[in-house]
């Protein structure tokens, strides 16, 4: 028997892009997010998207300075930025490879600055300038490949807090788990983590990690 509590959010009639995202080739991923941008918030919030709120609360518990510059890596339409703002972070920048997603983020008026980045290129800013970095649902099957975890960690300054999530698919993918092991064996320690709802309307879960860079 299903022991989950009753839904308190509307269930959409379609799940057009959530159905597609885990089946899309990496080379078509940015196009998919560009097409998804306008409907993303409705589809995700309609299914109770919980990871950004969990991530924001976990980071707020450990981060000493909520006014410190924070980079929301793979900010998408800004749902994680909104969750970070709601728990008291005040200086939030964002970056993403999808211009469509960035346009939606811009309209939220939460970000101090937004950057368009390329999947493979150098970043147009210094990640080491940010003592706080987040990546909700970004390093994941259905988004960025495992190497992106190491690329981010390699650019962070000592004592940076980096909060990110792995969904169910990602937790079951040895390549992503190996990437996490590689960074925690060399450059970072897991300060805190928790597992909980990711997209409850789909019954999916995620684990949120906060790393501190050595």
Ligand X SMILES: C[S@@+](CC[C@H](N)C(=O)[O-])C[C@H]1O[C@@H](n2cnc3c(N)ncnc32)[C@H](O)[C@@H]1O
Residues that bind ligand X (CB under 6 A): 30, 33, 52, 73-76, 79-80, 95-98, 101, 117, 119, 136-138, 143-144, 148
Torsion of CA 131, 63, 72, 70, to 10 degrees: -40
Please give the residue whose beta carbon sits closest to ligand X in the complex: 76
* Residue (46 or 74) nearer to ligand X, CB: 74
Residue 210's SS3 state is: strand
**Cβ 187 to ligand X shortest distance, Å:** 19
Q: Return d(Cα 47, Cα 197) in angstroms, integer.
A: 11
Cα–Cα distance, 116 to 165 (Å, whole number): 21
Cβ closest to ligand X, residue 33 vs residue 130: 33
Q: Could you tell me the smallest distance in angstroms from the CB atom of residue 2 to ligand X?
A: 26
**Cα 147 from Cα 67, distance rounded (Å):** 29
Cβ distance to ligand X smaller for residue 24 or 192: 24
Nearest approach in angstroms of CB 148 to ligand X is 5
Say if residues 108 and 81 touch (Cβ distance below 8 Å): yes
């Amino acid at each position: 028997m299903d022991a989950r509590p009753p839904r308190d959010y509307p269930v959409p009639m379609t799940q057009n892009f959530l159905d597609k995202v885990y089946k899309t080739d990496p080379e078509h991923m940015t196009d998919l997010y560009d097409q998804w941008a306008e409907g993303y918030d409705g589809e995700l919030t309609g299914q109770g998207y919980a990871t950004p709120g969990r991530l924001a609360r976990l980071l707020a518990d450990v981060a000493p300075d909520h006014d410190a510059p924070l980079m929301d890596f793979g900010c998408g339409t800004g749902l994680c930025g909104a969750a970070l703002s709601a728990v008291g972070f005040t200086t939030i920048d964002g970056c993403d490879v999808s211009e469509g997603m960035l346009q939606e983020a811009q309209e939220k008026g939460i970000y101090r600055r937004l950057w368009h980045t390329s999947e493979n290129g150098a970043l147009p800013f210094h990640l080491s300038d940010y003592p706080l970095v987040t990546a909700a649902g970004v390093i994941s099957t259905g988004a960025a490949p495992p190497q992106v975890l190491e690329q981010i960690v390699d650019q962070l300054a000592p004592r940076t807090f980096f909060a990110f999530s792995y969904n169910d698919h990602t937790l079951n993918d040895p390549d992503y788990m190996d990437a996490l092991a590689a960074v925690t064996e060399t450059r970072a320690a897991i300060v805190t983590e928790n597992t909980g709802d990711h997209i409850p309307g789909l019954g999916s879960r995620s684990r949120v990690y906060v790393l501190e860079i050595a």
